[in-house]
Amino acid sequence: MPDIKDLDGLKARDSGATLLLSLVDLLLIRTTVMLEDLYPCKNRTGRYSPMYNSPPRFCPGCGSPLASQYVDVEERDRLVCTACGEIHYINPKVVAGVIPATTGRIWLLRRAIQPRYGTWTFPAGFMEMGETVEQAAQRETFEELHMDVRITGLLNIYSRSESPTVLIVYLADALSEPIGGSEALEFASFSPETIPWNRLAFWNTEAALRDWIRSL
Ligand SMILES: [Zn+2]
């Protein structure tokens, strides 16, 4: 049995370790709160989206540092310039996509880029300034497959509160055969029965393809 001196030593070490753990906990909690203040979008695993891993630190207007600050009229924290007071908004970005169809089949491509390299999806990409969503969808289709499409209607809009993107997907007729492009490892046409469900790129890829099947 240890003598009283050893017990005191153990207690001292225990309390030191407990204090250290408490400090670590405090730091972690504080870090989490700060991150949640600054970057509202987490993915389904609870980690912050890669889009917000490098948030802006400086004001695009005057170059001064940005800080998280509660904005009364909006009743939430925003990134606010410490010099000119400009509010820097972090909002979801619009992704435009097309499901190109021809005689009951659709064209999909296998991604040659990250994220989700090697998985199947339909042409889609971020909307640019100076174009409509429809134009963005057609442009992305041409860039990724080098094929022309005629949009026939809106399929659906896909969003999740934790996602930094809003996906807008159109149905379209394929006006030409795809040639492919640098963002596609390969491409192929699929019937509803042959869609590679377990090798799709994103949750909204699957959701849109299920909507396409329901629309038939
Ligand atoms: Zn500024």
**67 CA to centre of ligand 1 in angstroms:** 11
Cα→Cα distances 93→131, 132, 215, Å: 14, 14, 26
CA pair distance 140, 123, nearest whole angstrom: 6
Q: Where are the domains of the chain?
A: 4-88, 93-215
**163 CA to centre of ligand 1 in angstroms:** 28
Q: Which residues contact 44 (CB under 8 A, 6 or more apart)?
A: 162, 203
pLDDT digits (tens, 9 = 90+) for 182-191: 999 999 999 9
CATH match for 93-215 among 3.90.79.10, 1.25.40.10, 3.20.10.10, 3.30.1490.190: 3.90.79.10
**116 CA to centre of ligand 1 in angstroms:** 36
Cα→Cα distances 201→60, 85, 170, 176, Å: 33, 40, 18, 24
Given CA atoms 131, 137, 142, 144 in this order, what sign does their dihedral have? positive
pLDDT digits (tens, 9 = 90+) for 90-123: 899 999 999 999 999 999 999 999 999 999 999 9
In 53-159, where does DSSP find H-type helix?
133-145
Of 119, 54, 139, 142, give the one whose Cα is nearest residue 90.
54
**89 CA to centre of ligand 1 in angstroms:** 13
Residue 43 pLDDT? 44
